[in-house]
Amino acid sequence: MTNAKTLRVMRLEKRLTQAEVADKMKVSQSYYSQIERGEKRQDAPEAMKVISGMRKRGSRTGGGEQKAGRRRED
């Protein structure tokens, strides 16, 4: 898997938007999109570090969250 595809997979697994990652990297969303498409390869390692350090959206601890829109039946 290329760095660009890895970035997208990592971002989606954490339910993050491109804008959220871009904001953390202090770049525009369109610039981050270019990184994710493989057009700005030199910034891909930095993006991976940023995504790795971010929590899943909707998570306080980074684990044990439920899928959006689904309620747990007890």
Q: Where are the domains of the chain?
A: 3-53
- Dihedral angle, C-alpha 42, 14, 19, 31, nearest 10 °: 20
The H-or-E segment that residue 21 falls in is: helix 18-25
CA-based diameter of the chain, in Å? 48
State yes or no: pLDDT of 3 exceeds 60: yes
**pLDDT tens sequence across 34-67:** 989 989 887 788 888 888 888 777 655 444 434 4
Instruction: Tell me the CATH architecture of domain 3-53.
Output: Orthogonal Bundle (1.10)
- Provide the whole-model pTM: 0.66
DSSP character at residue 40: S
22-29: long-range contacts at Cβ-Cβ below 8 A with a sequence spacing of 24 or more?
Answer: 24/50, 24/54, 25/50
The pLDDT, as a whole number, for residue 67 is: 41
